């Protein structure tokens, strides 16, 4: 479903991704963790071409990421959820969800609305559909952001630290929604340090450091017996 | 006391003054709209990555800010026809000349307003628009501009009022706008206070109407405050849209 081969990415002279290779099968859930600045966001932003990569190959559902004619198709294949939600503040919850389906013209207004209401119900926030983002709590905003991404019927979901900006009491409601999505068979890449979530949902954990993938292992192996020193050091830091 | 109210009232609603006020307002609206249309794409480029185009735009902005507006007006009206014969024909009126000169001049100021308004929109908005697969034009039209407008509105209104007053410079190229009409009448009758009061009244009416309009437009930005957003959401829900 997602395939990265020897991907490199530079920001100016800074080498942010170094020969990253990763294969993700359909329906698979991968959690990426690693110290701040290790390139986790950069990696998933390369997958939907929010950041262009410099060399190597990225493929998403058969599309070549980076090929000019496929950029919009790639982005519609992958839904993305950001750390800071990034809802459109001038649109209501419902309008946030139907904007893209309407503009991309795949469905009628009625269908777009119906679909948005379905997804809002699935993230348990349909009762807030008429509100503006500023009226919602962080956890509610993030669930709307998930519904908004789902409205494009993506085949893959990318999460970039979806719970890092949330107050602790709201983390659970967002992780629950993500867990439900996972159990429905969605292919997911999730950057997160929520170890409970990783244990429960992830098929594999990818550990990154300094722009490289250092270790890939099933969660039980990774958390119980990390192979690399850097992973051990990292795990001991976040478990405090 | 040498203020003659009847002269004042007669002149206030006389055709030459009404026409002058309308010309002033029309020229301001035309020039400002044109300036905004020129400035928008320039601001989008300025907000993007460094490029040769960006340098050119910076030079354009610097140029039109540096040259006095009066000189620009005179240049367009007098020098342009000397350089390009096409401007020697009938259709090239003082209104058109003033429109061109003031549009170019104003666009230089409006670029900076639009650029800073665009950059005031959170960077995550562009990324979110891209991530749901929207093309650039849709991202700007439906996500960036509605939010940037909120930031740009107050300084844009200031510019409009400045421009409204700048149009009086066009009297030098014999455009029959409000100040020109006023001067003609004063020169004819020496009734300074009456005719100046007429001009003053019309300028005030125009500026205050505009400020009222601004208040109306600002109601569209109630989403940016928590309490007002709640009221707006309720209104919309009750009306079913
Ligand atoms: N737009 C950018 N320009 C320059 N450097 C960047 C940019 N984005 C990220 N970086 C740098 O790339 C490195 C990796 O960033 P990122 O992928 O955001 O790390 P992570 O998500 O793992 O914390 C960091 O050192 C960061 O400073
Ligand atoms: Mg990050």
For ligand 1, atom 5, the nearest C-alpha belongs to A11
Predicted ipTM of the assembly: 0.93
Q: How far apart are CA B189 and CA B195, in angstroms?
A: 10
Atom in ligand 1 nearest the alpha carbon of residue A40: 22
Structural domain containing residue B141: 5-238
| Per-residue model confidence (pLDDT) at position A237 | 87
Q: Is the pLDDT of residue B139 over 60?
A: yes
pLDDT at A66: 87
CA A37 / ligand 1 centre spacing (Å): 6
Decide if pLDDT at B116 tops 70. yes
The atom of ligand 1 lying closest to the CA of A160 is 21
Q: Is residue A40 within 8 Å of A32, Cβ to Cβ?
A: yes
Q: At what angle do helices B15-47 and B52-66 cross, to 10 degrees?
A: 150
**pLDDT surpassing 80 at residue A28:** yes
Per-residue confidence band for B1, with pLDDT thresholds at 50, 70 and 90: low
Q: A14 C-alpha to center of ligand 2: Å?
A: 16
Task: Say whether B205 sits in a helix, a strand or coil.
Answer: helix
Strands A78-81 and A156-160: parallel
Residue A133 clears pLDDT 60, i.e. is over it = yes
User: CATH no. for residue B21?
Assistant: 1.10.3720.10
Could you tell me if the CB of A192 is within 6 A of ligand 1?
no
What are A139-157's pLDDT values in tens digits? 999 999 999 999 999 999 9
Q: Please give, rounded to a whole number of angstroms, the shortest distance from the CA of A9 to a CA of chain B.
A: 18
The reported pTM is: 0.89
| Chain B closest-CA separation from residue A114 CA (Å) | 15
What digits encode the pLDDT tens for the residues B174-209? 899 999 999 999 999 999 999 999 999 999 999 999
The pair phi, psi for residue A158, each rounded to 5°, is -115, 125
Report phi then psi at B176, rounded to 5: -85, 55
For residue A99, the chain B residue with the least C-alpha distance is B142
Residues of chain B that touch chain A, judged by Cβ-Cβ distance less than 8 Å: 122, 124-125, 127-128, 130-135, 138, 142-143, 146-147, 150, 221, 223-226, 229-230, 232-233, 236-237
pLDDT tier at A240 (50, 70, 90 boundaries)? Answer: low
Give dist(CA A144, CA A124) in Å, integer. 9
Partners of B233 on chain A (C-beta within 8 Å) are 92, 130-132, 135
For B82-110, how does the pLDDT look when each residue is reduced to its tens digit (9 = 90+)?
Answer: 999 999 988 999 999 999 999 999 999 99
pLDDT for residue B33:
97
- Nearest 5°: the CA angle B111, B117, B118 is 90
Chain B residue with Cα closest to A93 = B233
Q: Which residues of A163-197 are buried (b: 16+ CB within 10 A; e: fewer)?
A: beebeeebbebbbebbeebbeeebbbbbbbbbbeb
CB of B23 within 8 A of CB of B206? Answer: no
CA–centroid distance, residue A168 to ligand 2 (Å):
19
With a 6 Å cutoff on the Cβ, whether A42 touches ligand 1 is yes
| Total structural domains within chain B | 1
Mean pLDDT along residues A25-40: 96
Mean pLDDT, rounded, for A54-63? 94
Nearest-Cα residue of chain B relative to residue A159: B131
Arithmetic mean of pLDDT, A67-83: 93
* Residues B202-235 pLDDT 10s: 999 999 999 999 999 998 899 999 999 999 999 8
State how far the Cα of B185 lies from the Cα of B196, in Å rounded to an integer.
10
Average of per-residue pLDDT values in chain A: 94
């Amino acid at each position: 479903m997602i395939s990265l081969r020897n991907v490199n990415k530079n920001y100016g002279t800074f080498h942010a991704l170094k020969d990253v290779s990763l294969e993700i099968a359909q329906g698979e859930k991968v959690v990426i963790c690693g110290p701040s600045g290790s390139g986790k966001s950069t990696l998933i932003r390369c997958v939907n071409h929010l950041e262009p990569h410099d060399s190597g190959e990225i493929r998403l559902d058969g599309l070549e990421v980076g090929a000019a004619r496929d950029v919009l198709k790639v982005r519609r294949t992958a839904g993305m959820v950001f750390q800071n939600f990034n809802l459109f503040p001038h649109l209501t919850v419902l309008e946030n969800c139907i904007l893209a389906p309407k503009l991309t013209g795949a469905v009628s207004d009625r269908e777009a609305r119906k679909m948005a209401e379905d997804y809002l119900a699935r993230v348990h926030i349909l009762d807030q559909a008429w509100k503006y983002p500023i009226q919602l709590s962080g956890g509610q905003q993030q669930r709307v952001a998930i519904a908004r991404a789902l409205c494009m019927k993506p085949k893959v979901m990318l999460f970039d630290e979806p719970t890092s900006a949330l107050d602790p009491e709201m983390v659970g409601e967002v992780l629950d929604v993500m867990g439900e999505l996972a159990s429905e068979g969605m292919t997911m890449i999730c950057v997160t340090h929520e170890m409970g979530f990783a244990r429960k949902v992830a098929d594999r954990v990818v550990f990154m450091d300094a722009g490289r993938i250092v270790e890939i292992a099933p969660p039980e192996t990774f958390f119980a017996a990390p192979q690399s020193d850097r992973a051990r050091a990292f795990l001991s830091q976040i478990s405090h | 006391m040498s203020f003659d109210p009847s002269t004042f009232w007669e002149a206030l609603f006389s055709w030459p003054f009404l026409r002058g006020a309308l010309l002033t307002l029309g020229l301001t609206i035309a020039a400002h709209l044109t300036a905004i249309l020129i400035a928008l794409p320039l601001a989008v480029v300025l907000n993007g990555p460094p490029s040769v185009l960006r340098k050119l735009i910076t030079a354009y902005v610097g140029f039109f800010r540096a040259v006095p507006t009066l000189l620009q007006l005179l240049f367009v009206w007098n020098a342009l026809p000397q350089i390009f014969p096409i401007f020697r024909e009938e259709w090239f009126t003082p209104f058109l000349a003033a429109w061109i000169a003031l549009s170019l001049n104003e666009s230089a100021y409006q670029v900076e307003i639009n650029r800073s308004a665009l950059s005031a929109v959170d960077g995550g908005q562009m990324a979110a628009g891209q991530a749901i697969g929207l093309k650039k034009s849709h991202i700007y039209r439906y996500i960036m501009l509605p939010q940037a407008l909120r930031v740009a509105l107050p300084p844009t209104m200031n510019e409009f009022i400045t421009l409204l007053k700048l149009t009086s410079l066009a009297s030098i190229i014999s455009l029959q706008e409000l100040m020109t009409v006023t001067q003609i009448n004063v020169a004819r009758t020496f009734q300074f206070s009456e005719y100046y009061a007429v001009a003053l009244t019309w300028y005030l009416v125009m500026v205050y109407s505009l400020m009222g309009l601004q208040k109306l437009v600002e109601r569209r930005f109630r989403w940016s405050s928590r309490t007002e957003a709640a009221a707006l959401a309720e209104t919309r829900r009750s009306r079913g849209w």
